[in-house]
Structure 1
Amino acid sequence: MNINELIAQPEGRRLEFKGELPTNSDIAKTIVAFANDAGGDIYIGINDKPRQIIGLPENELTQIEEQISNMIYDRCYPTILPEVSFLSVEEKHLIRICIYRGSMPPYYLKEKGKLKGTYIRVGSTNKLADESIIASLERKRRNISFDSEIIMDKPASSLIIDGFKELYKEKTEEEINLQVLRKLELIKLEQDKEYPTNALILFSDDSLRKSFFPNAKIECARFKGIGTEEFIDQKSISTHIGLQAEEAYNFVLRHINKSATVEGIYTVSRWEYPVKAIREIIRNAVVHRDYSLTGKDIKVAIYDDMIEISSPGLLPPSIDYSAMESRQSDARNKVIAPVFKRIGIIDQWGNGLKLVAQELREYPEIELKWREVGLSFQVQFIKKNYKTIPTNVGDVGDVGDNVGDVGNIDNNISYNELKIIQLILHNPNITTKEIAETLGISTRQCERIIAKLKQSGKLLRKGSARTGYWEINNN
């Protein structure tokens, strides 16, 4: 990336612009925050707002470089070794300070000490780290993960893990015993007793999970329209983490459309979103979320115009969503990730993002966006051609591009009739009550619309009222 392209970038997790050398405390906070996180670059001689190349006096460059080096040495601890270089753009002189990701975190301001002087980078700002974040940085320094730490409130033999045992047997055809738990590092020896790690607590059905990790859950919601003012359906998934991803994925499938088109003699169905990619992102959210962050849960939100998945914890520095085609694997949870690989929930070779990129190529109408919001990572699957439905058609949401994908249905069909047909194409066994709840209408109104569709011959009922199914008549 050349300097002109760089200047067009917004300030963020790894980039900051300064018109002139700021006060010692201001720039020291940024340097400490970069070293504690993914590293970053500071460009001096470029104003941020408005973005403008100001430049520095050429005869002062060496003096400013010396000031920077002395300030970093005097004010930051442990020692940070920056790379300072001079650049010339449009005959103006700049200084670039490159800070690499540190190997000895937490880094902090000497005069304030570790508890009051440790900073992390959140978006384009420096945030004072609290004790839990400092603890996380100290684990990083020792190269241990939060999920590998033990809980000594109950011996491993007393922990209730029946659900996890059942799942593990189903996926691997192996029984869970103490030897397997040791091999997977789900239990560890301490003071001649074996105790569970945080990872095993999260896989358990024990009361300790709710006590230690009340927010280790997924909150799912289908909102009405494109805002959060009103929802059609919601679900809180608080089972053990081995089951959460599939439950959230099934919630998504219940609330998106599946169209059908005829190609030759075959009927071809297609989801309105790349569901394999969505499933992969949900799985990654469960596997790689930061379980040490208290009070935060995973959120799966479905709107008329997009699906949004948010997970606690920033993206690991070595993962780059802009290079999804390359194999990338960096596990925050070094015990949980191998277990998920063992039971086949995530890929062994870091192909997850590549899978997402491949399926997105088949959905040119869907745009993938990702961003870091506070201490969370968020992925959005957005309909590029979303159009708001006129208020006189109904309030259920967007018909999208599926209007022409339900066969030979005529153009006189109402909005709610079309939505019912789409729901039935997705699930021929759906009940009238489920249709009404999804559309946000009364059961009686739903029954009247279905009766009209049956009377016109567009909808057929096969079998009994209790055990039968719906069929769309395209003739």
Structure 2
Amino acid sequence: MDLDSFNQIINQGENISVEFKSSEVRKESLAKEICSFSNTSGGVILLGVSDNGEIKGLNQNFNYEEWAMNIGRDHVVPSVTPIYSQIEINSLQVGILEIPKGSNKPYQTIGNKFLLRVGSTNRVATQAELMRLFQQSGMFHYDLLPVENTTINSLNSSYLSDYFTKYNIDYTDESDDERKKLLINTDVLAEDGSCTVAGLLLFGLKPQKYLYNASISIARFKGNLVGDELLDKQVIEGTLSNQIDISTSIIKNYIPVASRIEGNKRIDITDTYSERTIREVLVNAVVHRNYSISGSRIRIFIFDNRVECISPGRLPNTITTEKIRYGVSYAVNPVLVKFMENLRYIDKLGRGIPMVCSDANKIGKKVEFLEIGEDFKVVLWL
């Protein structure tokens, strides 16, 4: 870290990714910081700096690097390997401990506390937050959970019949027991006979009756800011395939395209995103969103200069915003992925996002991928 970067961190103070610790910090306290940063988005711990940002320096007769490495190894489970360096400020040494975003979440202290970084403090993860951490790690799949108060009658028989016909199974001619067995074996129903989250989202009669915000909200603004005039807003519900198909058409119609009139025809004079590109962004959003975050929909904001697709849920542990550009992916909802592949919406070859980037490059546009809090955002610049 150079001096300018260091001063910038000191000036901004403690926050979600920065913590100040004195040279006398206890092992348990440092372990909590390492754990919380690893469970969130990573961060930097400055050793030898007081809470108010005053530089106090380190004890020159103590090996802070070895000490910090041992804490990451012995006091956090699974172990964490920080990156340690030092910088000299006004003849005083300050330790810089960089904690990467964890790839083996969830992490806990040896005192069995799962901690998260919230603002400039740490707190114990709630049950819902802990569930999301396990989901990111692949140890738990929310789309397999049963949905309360649902039965086989909550499903659309016509959708199921069309789907299984492709596999030479006449769903309508099967007995009730055979239908139930078939749906349990394909993860549409849970063992207790209720619908799984995936089954309801793919084949439900009214999925949003039970999964309230499993839908897409589309808003068109006049301008480039959320505070600008709202021209239109729609909420698209139904099964995932219906949401994708309807939303693709709406977005395509709303994207502004410069044109001119020649004779009796309107001629587009700027290239814009293809329907295939828009569809892929939507498929990625509905398949990989975190459905355990029930208080938020997928949001599509259409501005004059960009389209934003915001999906609830962080990227899985081993995935970064850079890796997805090269086709690296991980199925947060493997049952949804399986069915969407069978329904020809995806091919599981990891080509979707690279295709979006390639299509954007061909028309001279830029695509951004951002992880903001508990959301993942794709920005298609117009």
Common fold, TM-score beyond 0.5? yes
- 2:306 touches 2:380 (CA, 8 Å); kept in 1? yes
TM-aligned CA deviation for residue 349 of structure 1: 0.7
Q: Match of 1:336, as an amino acid?
A: L
Aligned residue in 2 for 1:391? none
Aligned residue in 1 for 2:246? 247
CA distance in 2 between partners of 1:346 and 1:96 (Å): 41
Paired residues for 1:383-394 under 5 Å: 383=382
Distance change >3 Å, CA 89–CA 197, structure 1 → 2: same
Work out the percentage of aligned pairs sharing the same amino acid: 21
Higher relative contact order (CA 8 A, sep 6+): 2
TM-aligned CA deviation for residue 210 of structure 1: 2.9
Q: Does 2:147 correspond to 1:151?
A: yes
Q: Match of 1:132, as an amino acid?
A: A
CA distance in 2 between partners of 1:22 and 1:217 (Å): 51
Q: Does 2:198 correspond to 1:199?
A: yes
TM-aligned CA deviation for residue 343 of structure 1: 1.0
CA distance in 2 between partners of 1:4 and 1:180 (Å): 62
Q: Match of 1:189, as an amino acid?
A: E
SS in 2 for 1:381: strand
Give ranges in structure 2 of 5+ residues lacking alignment: 172-178
- 2:37 touches 2:117 (CA, 8 Å); kept in 1? yes
TM-aligned CA deviation for residue 239 of structure 1: 0.9
Q: Does 2:210 correspond to 1:212?
A: yes
When the two chains are superposed, the root-mean-square deviation of aligned CA atoms in Å is 4.3
TM-aligned CA deviation for residue 199 of structure 1: 0.9
CA distance in 2 between partners of 1:34 and 1:66 (Å): 18
CA distance in 2 between partners of 1:297 and 1:233 (Å): 17
CA distance in 1 between partners of 2:269 and 2:163 (Å): 32
1:219-252 deviation line (CA, Å, top 9, x unaligned): 1111122234432222110111222112111111
Q: Does 2:191 correspond to 1:189?
A: yes
Query: Greater CA radius of gyration, 1 or 2?
Result: 1
Distance change >3 Å, CA 229–CA 14, structure 1 → 2: closer
Aligned residue in 1 for 2:159? 164
- 1:313 touches 1:376 (CA, 8 Å); kept in 2? yes
CA distance in 2 between partners of 1:168 and 1:270 (Å): 42
CA distance in 2 between partners of 1:274 and 1:49 (Å): 49
Q: Match of 1:32, as an amino acid?
A: C
Give ranges in structure 1 of 5+ residues lacking alignment: 384-475
Aligned residue in 2 for 1:232? 231
Q: TM-score, normalised by structure 1?
A: 0.62
Distance change >3 Å, CA 70–CA 89, structure 1 → 2: closer
SS in 1 for 2:326: coil
Aligned residue in 2 for 1:292? 292
Paired residues for 1:61-460 under 5 Å: 61-63=62-64, 65-66=66-67, 69=70, 73=74, 79-84=77-82, 86-87=84-85, 94-96=95-97, 98=99, 101=102, 103=104, 105=106, 107=108, 110=111, 118-121=114-117, 128-138=124-134, 143-151=139-147, 153-156=149-152, 158-162=153-157, 164-165=159-160, 168=163, 172=166, 177=171, 178=179, 181-190=183-192, 194-207=193-206, 209-227=207-225, 228-258=227-257, 272-275=271-274, 276-364=276-364, 366-383=365-382
Q: Match of 2:128, as an amino acid?
A: S
Q: Match of 1:31, as an amino acid?
A: I
TM-aligned CA deviation for residue 36 of structure 1: 3.1
Distance change >3 Å, CA 55–CA 152, structure 1 → 2: same
CA distance in 1 between partners of 2:238 and 2:86 (Å): 57
CA distance in 2 between partners of 1:215 and 1:319 (Å): 25
Q: Match of 1:302, as an amino acid?
A: I
TM-aligned CA deviation for residue 135 of structure 1: 2.8
- Specify which of 23, 31, 35 is matched with residue 34 of structure 2: 31
CA distance in 2 between partners of 1:83 and 1:261 (Å): 59
TM-aligned CA deviation for residue 254 of structure 1: 1.4
TM-aligned CA deviation for residue 303 of structure 1: 1.3
Q: TM-score, normalised by structure 2?
A: 0.75
1:54-105 deviation line (CA, Å, top 9, x unaligned): 795472441574377459856x5xx342325643557966443556736573
TM-aligned CA deviation for residue 13 of structure 1: 11
CA distance in 1 between partners of 2:202 and 2:3 (Å): 46
CA distance in 1 between partners of 2:121 and 2:376 (Å): 16
1:426-450 deviation line (CA, Å, top 9, x unaligned): xxxxxxxxxxxxxxxxxxxxxxxxx
Q: How many residues align?
A: 360
SS in 2 for 1:360: helix
Q: Match of 2:332, as an amino acid?
A: R
Aligned residue in 2 for 1:407? none
Aligned residue in 1 for 2:176? none
CA distance in 1 between partners of 2:323 and 2:4 (Å): 18
